[in-house]
Chains A and B, each alone.
Chain A
Amino acid sequence: MRKILVFIVVCFTLVGSAAAQQLVTGLVTDDEGAGVPGVSIIQKGTTNGSITNADGFYTISVPEDAVLVYTFIGMMNVEEQVTGRSVIDVTMVIDAIGIDEVVVTALGIKREEKALGYAMTEVSGEDIAQANTVNPVQALQGKAAGLSIGASDGGMAGNSKIQIRGVSVLNSNNNQPIFVIDGVIVENSISNASADWSGNANDFGNILKNLNPDDYESVSVLKGAAATALYGSRGINGAIIIKNKDGKGRKGLGVKLTQTVGFEHVWDQPDLQYDYGPGTLAGYIGYGEQDGGGNYYRYDVNQVYTREVDGSQVMTKIGNPNGDGFLWGPKYDGRPIEDYDGVIRNYEGFPGAMMAAYDLGVSSNTALALNGANDNGSFYLSNSYNKRQGTSPTNEFSRYSLLFKGSYNLSKWLRAEASVSYTTSDVTNPGNDLAASYVTGSWAGWYDTDRWNNPEVYQAPHGGRPSNNYGDEYGNVPGNGTWFSYNLNSAVRNEQVIRPIIRLTADVTNWMSITAEANANYYTQFYEGKNLGQGYAMEGGSYDLRQNSDLSRTGKLVINLNKGFGDFQTSALIGGELWDRGTAYNRTWTDGGLIVPGKFYMGNSKKTLRTSANVGSTKQINSVYFLGNVSWKNQLYLDITGRNDWSSALVYTDGTGNYSYFYPSVSSSWIFSETLSLPAMVSFGKLRASWAQVGNDTSPYSINQGYGLGNIEIEGGQFIYQNTISTTLVDPNIKPERKNSFEVGMDVRLFNNRLSADIAYYNEAITEQISTVPLPSASGLSRMLTNVGTLTNKGFELSLGFTPVQTLNFKWESTFTYWNNTTMVSDLVDEVGEYKGLAGYVTYGNFRVGSVAFEDGEYGVLMTDTKPLEDDNGNKILTWRDDRRGAYYTRSYEAQEIGKINPDFEGSLYNTFSFKGLVVSVLLDARFGGHIASYSNKYGTSYGIMETSNKWRDEENGGMTWTSQYADIAGQEFHDGMIPEGVFAEGQTVTAPGGETVDVGGMTYQEAYNAGHVEPTHASLYTYFNSSWSSGVINDNWFNEVKYIAVRNISIGYNLPKSLAQRVKAQNVYVSLNARNLGYLYNSLPNNLNPESFRGTSSSASYYERSFTPYTRMYTISLSIDF
C-alpha cells in the first residue's frame, strides 16, 4: 500500500516539477490529534493533487504561491496558502454533514435537524425540478422513507396518490398530506372516477400542477403528528412543506436561466395476444360452414364469419358479431378477408396497433430567475413557461408561472416581506380511455390503427361520425367515435392560482420579535367543453362552461422569543391564526344541440340554456398555538407545542357543538454522541422521541343536514317544486377527532458518515373518527354521522446511507430506504355491522371486490363473493354445462376475504456516482404487497384478448387434442382441450359422449374424463366463464398481489468547468440528462400489466385497474446557466 502511495506521490512530483515548484509535506490530523488517511490535497484551480497516507502524511509539489485545498468527506474543508512553506500541518474538524444542517419545519420555521424529536426528510428543489413531472408528487417517489406514492391512470397532468404513514381519517377517502407553500396551505384533492362505471378517468389533476418546481428551494416531508402538530387538523395526514427560493444571502444580482426539453414516449404495453382473431366460444358457434345435417360446427373455433360479396362467400370484418373484441376465433393466417371499408385485405393481427395510437410527447420548460440582495433587502423574481404535448392525441398542458418575493428592512427593527405568485395552466383533453379501447372496447387485434386513425375515416363528409344509416363510406369501421372525440372535441380546463403573502416582522427587543402575516390562496378553474356533434351533419353538439373558485385566507400573528440561560438555550413562539375558506361554482351549458354546428357559444343553443350555480364550503378555523423549546449544551433538546382550534365545521345550526379542541405535543432529541464517550467510529448519534396529539374536525355542513329544494318545469311554462329530506342521521354530540401519536427514532452515523442509519418507529391512534355508518336503507335512514371508532397506524421506517467508494475524484453514495405501515380499525360503534364498507361493492359490479374494515382488522381488507366455491375438502366445485360440454368454477356467493389494499412494505435504493463534475444517479423504488383487481386482465382474459387467454388454446399452449365421440360431432378433432381442476357437485349428472346420463357427483373432472363420462373442456368456454361478468370467479389472471421494483429515474448531470463557464460569462453551467420511469426490474402482474395504473388516488379505492395504461418513459435534457 505504502509503495503505491509513494509511487503516486512520485508521479505527482514529476508532473509538478515542470514549473517553478516546491515540495510541500505535512501531516493531517483530526481534532484529537490522530492522523487522517485518505485526505485529498488539491492545488486550487488545477488537477494537481495528492492524498495522505495511512498515517496522515502527504507530499505534494506545487508552485510557491499555490493554495492547497484539503478535503475529506465528513470534515470541513481547509485551505492553506503555501507562501513558500515546505511543511504544512493541518488539523481538520469533523463536519457532520447533515447534522448541523438546517431544515424547514412546520410553519416554515428553520431548525437544526439535530434538534428535532421527530423524523423528517428534506429534498432539494433541484431534485424535484429535474424529474420534470407536472405533478410534484410524482417527483417525490422513492425520495423518503414513509412516503408512499402511487401513480394513477390519470395521465400527464393527473393526480398521483401520496400517503404518509397510512390512513388517518376514516370518513374521507382523501388521506393525503397537505402541501404548504411558503406558509400557505393548499389541499391536495383526489381523483376518484369509478373504476366500475367510468371507462375514462378524465383526470384534470388538482392544484398541485400549478406549482412551479423551478422555484423550489427545498421540500420537507413532515411525517408524524409531532412534526405537523402546529398545522392543526389540516395536517393530520402529514405535510409537504415547500419553501420557495428567495434572494436572501446573495450579494448583487444573480440570473439563472434553465431550459429543459423533454420527450415522452410509449415504449411498451401489457401483453395482448395477436395470434387469434374474432370468434365466439366453442359450443356457441353459429356461423361459418355447415355439416351434412345443415348444422353449424358449434365447437369448431376455426369457423369464420362470412358474407356474400360479388356472388361468393368471403370472410369479412363487416357485421362480424364478434368483431368488437371477442377473440376466440381462428388463428390469423393471412387469408383474404373483407375489411371494414369493403377492400379485401389479409386476415392478420396488428401487434403495433395500440402503441400506434400514441404520439411522441414533447415538452419544454423555460425558467428565468433573477435574485439579488443588499443590506436593505432582497428580492427574487422568477418566470417560467412549461408547455407539454402528451402522448395521447390532443392532450396538452401548459403552465405559466410568476413568482416575486421581496423583503426590505424598513428600519433596524422592522422588516417587511411580501411575495406574490401567479400561475395559470391549461389542461387540454386528458381523456385516458384510448388503451382500454384495445382490450375491452371496440378495437380487436385485427384493428389497424394506422389505417383507421385518419380524419377522412372518422369524420364523414357531412361532418359527423360515419354511419351506415347515412350511407357513409367508413360507417363500418368500429370505434370512430373515439378518434372523433379525441381529435375534434375539446375539453380544456384553465386554472389560475394567485397566492399573495405579506409579512411584517418587528424585532421588539433582541430576544423578541413579532410577526404579522396575511396570506391567501385564490384558485379558480375555468372549464370549456366543446363537443362537435357526431350525428348527421354534426347534429348533437354541445358547449359547456364551468367556473369554480376557491378562496382561502389566513391571518396570523406570531411572537417569537429567544433567550439563553447559561448552558440552556430557549426559544418560544406564540401565535394566533384565523383561517377561512369559501367556494363558488357556476355552470352554463347548451341543451338540445347547437343550432349552427361547430359554433361554440351559448347563444347557439337549440333550447333554453341550462345553468347551475352555488356558493358553499364555507369554513372558518380560529387557532392559537405555542411552541417552546429548550436545549442544553447542544445535546439535549425538548420541544413542547400546543394548539387550540375553534372550527366552524363542528358547530350545529343551533349554535351548539364541541367546536373547540386543544392538543399538545412533546418531542425531544438527545445527541448521545455528544454526551457519551463513544468509539471513534461513531461520528454522530441521536435518539429521538415524541408524543403528539392532533385534533381534527370534519367537512363543512356535514353535521347540518336540511331539506333540498328543486323545481320541475311543467306544461305551459309553469313550475312545480320538490322538497327532499336528508336520510343522514347526525349525532347531536359529535366530538372532534383526536390523533395520538408516539414516535421514537435513532440517527447514527459511523466512520465519518460513510455509513449511516436513520430509523423510526411510530404508533398512532386516531380516535373519535367522525364518519358515516351506512344504515339499512329500509330503516328510513341511509347513514349515520357520528364518532365511529379508531384508526391506528403502526410502522417502521429505515433509511440507510452508505458510501462504498470514495476517492479523490470518484464517489459512490448509496441510500436505501424501507418502510411499512399497518392501519388498523378498532372500537367501531354498534351500528357498524360485522365490517364497514369503504369502497366498491363486495357483491356487485364488474369487479365484485369491495374494500372494507373489520373491527380490529386492517383498513382496506378486500372482500368478494366470487371466490370459487369449495367442498369440505377444499376442492373447487365445478359448474357443468351439459349443453356446452364443459365446466368452469362456481361462485361461492359468500362474502370472503381475498386481499388488502395497502402494501406490506415499500422501499427505494438511490445510488449516486460522482466523478469530478459529473454526477450519475440511479433511483429504484419498490412496492411489495397489496392487491390489484384488474378490469383489463379480467375481461381481456375472458374475451380471449390478453396473452393469458392463450392457455390451452392449442397444443403449443398446452391444449389437449382429442376426437369427439358425441354423436352430433363424432369424429371432429379438437386441439383446445383442458381438464379443469376441481370436482363435480354432489348429484351432478352429465350427458356422456355415448349419450347416456351419468352421475359424476363428487368425482374430479380428471376422474370423470378417465372414466369416459366427459371429454376435455374447450379452453374458450373455461376461460371465458371463469372471468365473465355473470359467472367469473376471483382468479390469478386478474386479481394479484402487486410487487414491483421500478427503475424510477436515472440522471446524469455535469457541471461545466468554471473556465468554460466563464467563457460565456456565466458563473456556472450545468447540463443534465434525466430519464424517468424506465421500466421494471420485477413486476408480479400477469400479462405485464402496468403495476402503477391504479384508478384514482383515494385511500379506500386504489386497488382497481381500469385504463390499461401503457408504459411511458420520459427523457429530459436540461441546461442551466447561472450568471
Chain B
Amino acid sequence: MKTTYKLIFALIFSLIIGCDRDDFAEINTNPSTLAEPDLRYSMTKAIEQMYGNDYTIWFYNNFQYVYPWVQVGTMQGGNGADFNLMGPTGGQGIYGSLLPQTMDVRMRIEDMPDEEKATYRAMRSMTFPIQIATALTITDNTGSLSYTEAGQAPYTNPPLLTPVVDNQQTLFNTWLAELDDAIAGLAAEDQFAIGKQDRIYNGDYARWAKFCNLLKLKIAARLVNKDRAMALQIAEEVANSTAGYMDDLSDDFVYRRGVLYHGTGNGMWIGYGSKNLLDFLLANKDPRLRFIFEKNDFNGEVVQAFIDEAKALPPYIDPLVDYDAGGDFAGWLGDGEPWVRYHGAPLSPDETQNPANSIYFNQSATNTIENKTYWATSEYSEKLTRTRYIYTYPTKPGGRVLQLRDNEPPHNIILGSSAETNLYLAEFRLLGANLPKTAQEYFDWGVELSIMRADKLAENQEMPYYFGDPVYEDETEAEAAATMLRDGEITALLAQPAFDLTVDALEKVYIQQYINFMNTPNDIWTTVRRSGCPMKGSTYLSWEDVTVSSSEIPLPRRMTVGTPTEDDINFVNKMAAITEQGFTSGTPDPAVLSTERLWFDQENPDYGDGPKL
C-alpha cells in the first residue's frame, strides 16, 4: 500500500511541477519571434512593401490591361475582341504589411519621451511618403480608399475596426498636408540615423523630402483638369521648395530589395509592341526603344537561313536587307543594327481578323523554317519586370545554342524619378505655372534624365544585347548591334522636331511623359487618361482606333471595384463609397468601366482626344 501512496504523491508532485505557468509561457512562445522591434528594421519592411506585389502588377494589371489599353502594345498574341474585358487584377496593397509597419513606427515614436521623440522626426516623416506613394497607385485604379482612419485599430480603444472610406478629394488634400509636414520633418536637425536600413536613399533624409515633392507633383498632375489652379499652385510650391526637388539621376527613387531579389519567378504574357509607338521611336532614333523593347529574332544569321530555305522574309523586314549579288545577306540597309530589329504590330481587334495581317498575328505559320519559328515583331522587354530567366538568342535552325544565362542581377524598379519631375514641371510651365525655368529647359533635361535612367536600368537588368549581339560572329558587327546608350544620341534626339516645344508643346510633353513611364510599373495609365495622348491623328505619335466589326469599342477608365460582401464589418462604409462615386461594383463590363470614371478622371479628355488646354 505504501508504494501506492508514494506513486500518487509522485504523480501529484510531478503535475504541480509540470504546470508551472512560467514554464508553460516559455513553451508557448514561438522561439522565432521577437517581443520588440527595431524601428529601423520596421521601416525597411515598410519600404519593401511599396512594391510588394510584383507579379500581379505586371502580369495582370500592366500586360493584360493597362499596356494594351494605353497602346504600348497588345495582349499576348494580339488584341482579341475582348481585350477591353477585365479578368483578375492585382496591384499593391497598403493594409496588409505596409500600413501596420508605418503606423507601428509612428506610434512607437509618439510614445517616446519628448527629447528622444525630437530626434525621430525625420524617421516619422518618412512614413508618409511611403504610405502615400503606394496608396496613390491604388486610388489611380479604383478610387476611394480608407486612409484617414486606416491602421488605427491597434492604437484605439475600442479598436477602430470600421475606418471610413475616403474619396479622392479627401485623399489628395490629406496627402498634400501630410507631405508638407513630412518635408519639414525630414529637414529637422540632429536626427537619429536610419543609415543603410533605408534601401532607397541610404539614410539621406533630404532626398526623401525631394521625393515628397515629387509626390506633390503627382497629385498636382492628377488635378490638372479638376482644379487647375490648385495644380499650378502645387507646382510652384515644389519648384520653390527649400527642400528642393528631384533633379539628378542620383535623386531617383530606385526600388531595390537586395541582391537576391529578381522580381517574380513567374513568366509574363507579353504582347507585341504597338506599331505606331515603335515607328515613332524609330523615326526619332529614340534610344529608349532599345531599353524598353526587345529585339526581334531576325538577325543576319536568321535572315540568311530564310534565304537558304527560300522562305520569304516578312514584308517589313525584307526591304531592310542588303542582298549581295548571289542573293545572300550582305548587311542591313537603313539605320542598320540595332534599329532594324524593332517592329510593332497593329492594335485594333479588327486588324487581328484581317487576313493580310497574318505577318503579325500568325507568325508561327509565316515565319517558321524547319519547325523553328522566328518572331519578327518586338515585345516589351520582360527583363524590366524580372531578371531571373534565360534568354536564348535566335540562331539558324540546327545552329548554335547561345543563351544569356546565369545572369541574375538584382531587380530594380523605378517608383519616381528626376525625369518625371522635370517633365511635370515642363507641363505645368506650359499650363501657366510661374516657374523659374522655361518649359523647354525642364523638358530637355527631363528627356535626358529619362534616357539616362532607362539606359541605367537596362544595364542593371542585364537586358539581352545591351553590350553586344553575340549572334554576329564578327566583333564589329556584334558591337554595332549593342543596345547601350551611345555618345551624342541624346543631343541628336533633342534636335528632332518632336522635341521642339515651339509647336504642339503640351502634346510633346505628354508623349515624353508617356514614354518615360513605360519602364515603370505605375503612372502611365494616369498620364494617358489625363492627357488624351497619344492623340488621334497626331503628326507625331497617334492613337490607333480600336474597333471590333468596324465599331469602336469602349476601353475602361478604371478597374473593377469589387462588391463588398456582408461578412465584412466595414460593409456599410464600403458601400457608401461605391454609391458616392456612382459606381456599379463587381462588373468588369467595359461599357461600365469606360463611363463610370474616377473623381480625378471626370473632366479628363477621352482616350486619344489630346490634351485639354
Give the residues in chain B near A559, CB-CB below 8 Å: 4, 7-8
Do B196 and A720 touch across chains, with their CB atoms under 8 A apart? yes
Residue A622 CB within 8 A of the other chain = yes
Residue B159 CB within 8 A of the other chain = yes
Do B199 and A703 touch across chains, with their CB atoms under 8 A apart? no
Do B586 and A508 touch across chains, with their CB atoms under 8 A apart? no
Residue A514 CB within 8 A of the other chain = yes
Residue A676 CB within 8 A of the other chain = no
Give the residues in chain A near B410, CB-CB below 8 Å: 715
Residue A776 CB within 8 A of the other chain = yes
Give the residues in chain A near B486, CB-CB below 8 Å: none
CA distance A475 to B392 in the complex (A): 14
Give the residues in chain B near A708, CB-CB below 8 Å: 32-34
Give the residues in chain B near A776, CB-CB below 8 Å: 146, 161-163, 568-570
CA distance A535 to B405 in the complex (A): 10
Do A729 and B568 touch across chains, with their CB atoms under 8 A apart? no
Chain A 733-777 near chain B by CB (<8 Å), digits 1 or 0: 000000000000000000000000000000000000000001111
Do A655 and B21 touch across chains, with their CB atoms under 8 A apart? yes
Identify the closest chain A residue to B97 (Cβ). A724
Residue A298 CB within 8 A of the other chain = yes
Do B549 and A319 touch across chains, with their CB atoms under 8 A apart? no
Give the distance to chain A from B8, nearest Cβ to Cβ, in Å: 7
Tell me the residues in window 78-105 of chain B with beta carbons closer than 8 Å to chain A beta carbons.
80-82, 85-88, 93, 95-97, 99-101, 103-104
Do A724 and B45 touch across chains, with their CB atoms under 8 A apart? yes
Tell me the residues in window 687-732 of chain A with beta carbons closer than 8 Å to chain B beta carbons.
700-701, 703-710, 712-715, 718, 720-727, 729
CA distance A319 to B155 in the complex (A): 59
CA distance A727 to B4 in the complex (A): 51
Do A308 and B159 form a contact, CB below 8 Å, given A318-B371, A725-B100?
no
Do A616 and B1 touch across chains, with their CB atoms under 8 A apart? no
Binds B, one of A248-256, A827-835, A1089-1097: A827-835
Tell me the residues in window 298-349 of chain A with beta carbons closer than 8 Å to chain B beta carbons.
298, 305-308, 316, 318-319, 321, 342
Give the residues in chain B near A710, CB-CB below 8 Å: 45
Do A659 and B397 touch across chains, with their CB atoms under 8 A apart? no
Give the residues in chain B near A831, CB-CB below 8 Å: 161, 569
**Residues of B within 8 Å of A, CB-based: how many?**
119
Do A723 and B41 touch across chains, with their CB atoms under 8 A apart? yes
Do A714 and B199 touch across chains, with their CB atoms under 8 A apart? yes
CA distance A725 to B362 in the complex (A): 52
Do B588 and A1030 touch across chains, with their CB atoms under 8 A apart? yes
Do B159 and A729 touch across chains, with their CB atoms under 8 A apart? yes
Residue A512 CB within 8 A of the other chain = yes
Give the distance to chain A from B136, nearest Cβ to Cβ, in Å: 16
- Considering residues B11, B42, B151, which has the most beta carbons from chain A within 10 angstroms of its beta carbon? B11
Give the residues in chain A near B538, CB-CB below 8 Å: none
Residue B258 CB within 8 A of the other chain = yes
Do A619 and B27 touch across chains, with their CB atoms under 8 A apart? yes
| Band of interface residues on A | 35 or more
Chain A 524-541 near chain B by CB (<8 Å), digits 1 or 0: 000000000001110110
Residue B565 CB within 8 A of the other chain = yes
Give the residues in chain B near A618, CB-CB below 8 Å: 27-28
Identify the closest chain B residue to A652 (Cβ). B25
Q: Which of B31, B77, B257 contacts A712 (CB 8 A)?
A: B257
CA distance A535 to B373 in the complex (A): 18
Give the distance to chain B from A845, nearest Cβ to Cβ, in Å: 8
Identify the closest chain A residue to B397 (Cβ). A471
Residue A1123 CB within 8 A of the other chain = no
Do A1030 and B258 touch across chains, with their CB atoms under 8 A apart? no
Do A659 and B100 form a contact, CB below 8 Å, given A295-B355, A536-B403?
no
Give the residues in chain A near B260, CB-CB below 8 Å: 712-713
Residue A578 CB within 8 A of the other chain = yes
CA distance A701 to B29 in the complex (A): 5
Tell me the residues in window 537-583 of chain B with beta carbons closer than 8 Å to chain A beta carbons.
548-549, 551, 553, 562-563, 565-571
Identify the closest chain B residue to A837 (Cβ). B567
Residue B36 CB within 8 A of the other chain = yes
CA distance A718 to B258 in the complex (A): 10
Residue B191 CB within 8 A of the other chain = no
Give the distance to chain A from B590, nearest Cβ to Cβ, in Å: 11
Q: Which of B11, B25, B101, B356 contacts A576 (CB 8 A)?
A: B11
Do A557 and B11 touch across chains, with their CB atoms under 8 A apart? yes
Do B368 and A319 touch across chains, with their CB atoms under 8 A apart? yes
CA distance A834 to B575 in the complex (A): 14
Give the residues in chain B near A267, CB-CB below 8 Å: none
Residue A183 CB within 8 A of the other chain = no
Do A653 and B28 form a contact, CB below 8 Å, given A295-B353, A620-B18?
yes
Give the distance to chain B from A1083, nearest Cβ to Cβ, in Å: 32
Do A606 and B41 form a contact, CB below 8 Å, given A646-B19, A713-B258?
no
Give the residues in chain B near A701, CB-CB below 8 Å: 28-30, 33
CA distance A69 to B298 in the complex (A): 96
Do A780 and B587 form a contact, CB below 8 Å, given A722-B41, A833-B569?
no
Q: Which of A284, A653, A660 contacts B25 (CB 8 A)?
A: A653
Residue A107 CB within 8 A of the other chain = no
Residue A626 CB within 8 A of the other chain = no
Do A576 and B152 touch across chains, with their CB atoms under 8 A apart? no
Do A707 and B35 form a contact, CB below 8 Å, given A578-B18, A720-B44, A777-B96?
yes
Do A1029 and B161 touch across chains, with their CB atoms under 8 A apart? no
Residue A634 CB within 8 A of the other chain = no
Q: Which of A318, A539, A893 contacts B587 (CB 8 A)?
A: A893
Tell me the residues in window 621-672 of chain A with beta carbons closer than 8 Å to chain B beta carbons.
622, 624, 646-657, 659-660
Residue A30 CB within 8 A of the other chain = no
Q: Which of A307, A578, A721, A895 contacts B368 (CB 8 A)?
A: A307
Q: Which of B3, B104, B145, B570 contacts A508 (CB 8 A)?
A: B3
- Considering residues A650, A721, A778, A782, which has the most beta carbons from chain B within 10 angstroms of its beta carbon? A778
Give the residues in chain B near A535, CB-CB below 8 Å: 390, 405
Give the distance to chain A from B404, nearest Cβ to Cβ, in Å: 12
Do A471 and B44 touch across chains, with their CB atoms under 8 A apart? no
Give the residues in chain B near A835, CB-CB below 8 Å: 566-567
Give the residues in chain A near B14, CB-CB below 8 Å: 576, 578
CA distance A893 to B549 in the complex (A): 29
Q: Which of B30, B397, B399 contacts A704 (CB 8 A)?
A: B30
Give the residues in chain A near B12, CB-CB below 8 Å: 576
Residue A161 CB within 8 A of the other chain = no
CA distance A516 to B3 in the complex (A): 12
Give the distance to chain B from A793, nearest Cβ to Cβ, in Å: 23
Residue A972 CB within 8 A of the other chain = no
Give the residues in chain B near A779, CB-CB below 8 Å: 150-153, 159-163, 570
What is the interface of chain B, defined by CB distance below 8 A to chain A?
1, 3-4, 7-8, 10-12, 14-15, 18-19, 21-25, 27-38, 40-42, 44-45, 48, 77, 80-82, 85-88, 93, 95-97, 99-101, 103-104, 145-146, 150-155, 159-163, 165, 196-197, 199, 256-261, 352-356, 361-362, 364-366, 368, 370-373, 390, 392, 394, 397-399, 401, 403, 405-406, 408, 410, 548-549, 551, 553, 562-563, 565-571, 585-588
Inter-chain pairs besides A475-B372, A780-B155, A831-B161, 13 sampled, C-beta below 8 Å: A471-B370, A540-B390, A557-B10, A619-B28, A656-B21, A704-B29, A709-B33, A713-B258, A725-B42, A775-B569, A778-B95, A778-B99, A781-B153
A sample of 11 cross-chain residue pairs with beta-carbon separation below 8 angstroms, ordered by A number, consists of A319-B368, A535-B405, A646-B19, A648-B27, A709-B34, A724-B101, A727-B97, A893-B563, A893-B586, A894-B586, A1031-B588
Top 9 A-B pairs, shortest CB-CB distance: A319-B364, A893-B586, A706-B33, A834-B566, A780-B151, A307-B365, A778-B146, A723-B37, A712-B258
What is the interface of chain A, defined by CB distance below 8 A to chain B?
283-284, 286-287, 290, 294-296, 298, 305-308, 316, 318-319, 321, 342, 462, 467-471, 473, 475-476, 506, 508-509, 512, 514, 516, 535-537, 539-540, 557, 559, 576, 578, 580, 592-593, 606, 614-616, 618-620, 622, 624, 646-657, 659-660, 700-701, 703-710, 712-715, 718, 720-727, 729, 774-782, 830-837, 842-845, 852, 865, 883-884, 891, 893-895, 1029-1031
